[in-house]
Amino acid sequence: MTERTGRFGILEQFQADGITHIFGNPGTVEQGFLDALSSFDDLNYILTLQETIALMAADGYARATQKPTIVQIHSTPGLGNTIGALYQAMRGHSPLVVIGGDAGIRYQAMDAQMAGDLVAFAEPVTKWSTMVMDPKSLLRVLRRAIKIAATPPMGPVYVCLPQDVMDFPVDEGVVPTSLPSTRVVPDEDSLLQAAELLMSGQKPMIFVGDGIAYSGAQSELTRVAELLGAEVWSADSGEVNMSLEHPLYQGSTGHMFGEQSLPITSKGDANLICGTYVLPEVFPILKNIFTEGAKSVHIDLNAYEIAKNHPVDLGLVSDPKLTLAKLADLLDAKMPPEARQAATARLEAIAQEKQAAKATQIEKDQAVKDKEPLHFSSFMVELAARLPQDTLIFDEALTNSPPISRYVPITEPGSYFQTRGGSLGVGIPGAIGVKLAHPDRPVWGFTGDGGAMYTIQALWTAARHNVDAKFVICNNSSYRLLQLNIQQYWQEQEIPKHEFPLSFDLSKPTIHFAQLAQATGVEGVRVEKTSEIIPAIEQALAHAGPFLIDLVLEGDVHPELIGIRCGQ
């Protein structure tokens, strides 16, 4: 009788943990493992053409399922390809279990081809990084990895699986991974202190992140916000932590410049921070971001993030859902009538301001609806009118994101996923992952032309596995975000405004995304005129299978200068 080897044991462990999808890109040192997959019909291997895409598609799948997700990559070069995507997954707290191959422990002293300190490579961008050194601990290490990835604060882990370890007989039993509960709440005195601190303010503010979504605390957060009459702002967020249509939800703090966030964070005199850290900008404020004398309460399961950058008056390491529920009960029981009246007045005033701001923006959209080159809002008006109500959206449109939420009501938790972590290219593979997690719901993915070119070969994966997602590339022939950011830099450095660097300009040669899509087996159409918008949307909705719309938008570009200026 043939002995059971590690490569079969690993796949049995995945089955025991309810894993159904493996996202990967094959390599020679993983050949035995991949060969063994043919014996496991209930494990679906999603083939990608580069390891980054495997990571990003798995990230979308993990976000949509909130379950540990398996990624299989190649050894040293393959791990190198994934570093940027792993960083994004780490910052976004995605529960990814990345398994990577290696020629074998017996070869490590040779410093041979593709040799490298794989564990060290992965350590800075993972929650845990390790190599299985003994086949007798193969499944034990794998279960530990799954547990670490899936335990809040969630995050990616890396497990190196040398080929000789996987080929060795194993006698470990297969049991489901034990995932500890983190549903903990503070003591009553601490909860009462939190309620009193928040009730003491005349201008309460709430800052939230994806810890809300991961604990399912959207309704509890909404109740607390309504009781306090507090503005709610997202920070380090990519999930639906509160209905975006709610009057108290105000959008996101700045993700790039602390100076843009400061007017928001310094508004209040009583701050509640929950499920996030403060704050996730690239260029943060180095001084206190809250107004002098303001009180702050910070709730998170990640103790490291509490008061990491800015002092708080009360930090609670606890589950957001249960803690906010108890906090709401205390507020409801102890708020005096005058405080309730003030909260109601704040809510009504905030609602009126939000409604007026939206109406103003819609008027601006109407003013450009027939202009060419096109504005993205013109497309979104028509798409929103035709999207099925149960549509899921993956949004990497960055500078074009506001019209999406302006015209598509985003109210349901788990219905909208925004890029996070700072790595470009997640839009197409992320939407693929979401669709694989929800095969019975429509999925639309939005990205820009710059981001799309990082991972355009992901379209091939959509075609190969018949992933019926629709993709929109907001094609302004530029790195628009960089153009916006450098204007802030010019302002800070007192540099007069002038032409953008040509390295931000992607207009020459023209990228024809519909043709690229067709070359990978995905149907696509290019939209350049107002009259082409509705036919393209209807064609995409009617098409069975993946479909791409190359939406050509207005942009600040100068193709006539490219090749004329030396080095540009």
Residue 526 has phi, psi (to 5 degrees) of -100, 130
Give yes or no for a contact between 455 and 56, defined as CB atoms under 8 angstroms apart: yes
The stretches of 438-532 forming alpha helices (DSSP H) are 449-452, 458-464, 480-492, 513-519
Q: What is the mean pLDDT of residues 517-542?
A: 98
Sign of CA dihedral 296, 217, 85, 460: negative
Tell me: pLDDT of 563 over 90.
no
In tens, the pLDDT along 204-258 reads: 999 999 999 999 999 999 999 999 999 999 998 999 999 999 999 999 998 899 9
pLDDT at 366: 97
Residues written for the chain: 568
Tell me: pLDDT of 64 over 80.
yes
**Three-state DSSP state, 378:** helix
Find residue 448's DSSP bridge partners. 474
Burial class (CB in 10 A: 0-12, 13-18, 19+), 543: middle
Does the global pTM surpass 0.85? yes
Nearest to 276 by CA among 196, 230, 209, 218: 209
In tens, the pLDDT along 110-152 reads: 999 999 999 999 999 999 999 999 999 999 999 999 999 999 9
> Beta-carbon neighbour count of residue 197 at 10 Å?
20
H or E stretch including 399?
none
Tell me: pLDDT of 11 over 80.
yes
Give yes or no for a contact between 118 and 126, defined as CB atoms under 8 angstroms apart: no
In tens, the pLDDT along 385-424 reads: 999 999 999 999 989 999 999 999 999 999 999 999 888 9
Q: What is the mean pLDDT of the chain?
A: 96
The Cα 516–Cα 551 span in angstroms is 14
Tell me: pLDDT of 281 over 80.
yes
Please state, for a pLDDT cut of 90, what percent of the chain lies above it.
96
Residue 467's pLDDT band (cuts 50, 70, 90): very high
Distances (CA, A) of 389 to 384, 385, 393, 534: 9, 10, 11, 18
Q: What is the mean pLDDT of residues 540-566?
A: 93
In tens, the pLDDT along 323-350 reads: 999 999 999 999 999 999 999 999 999 9
Residue 1's pLDDT band (cuts 50, 70, 90): very low
Tell me: pLDDT of 2 over 60.
no
Tell me: pLDDT of 23 over 60.
yes
Least confident of 251-255, 289-293, 371-375: 251-255
Q: What is the DSSP string of 308-329?
A: SSS--SEEEES-HHHHHHHHHH
Q: What is the mean pLDDT of residues 298-307?
A: 97
Nearest to 347 by CA among 201, 230, 199, 200: 230
Cα 475 to chain centroid, rounded:
21
pLDDT at 567: 61
Find residue 523's DSSP bridge partners. 547
pLDDT at 236: 87
Q: What is the mean pLDDT of residues 36-44?
A: 96
H or E stretch including 174?
none
Q: What is the mean pLDDT of residues 41-53?
A: 97
Q: Which residues lie below 8 Å from residue 160, measured CB to CB, with a gap of 6+?
A: 99, 100, 101, 102, 118, 119, 130, 131, 132
Q: What is the mean pLDDT of residues 193-208?
A: 98
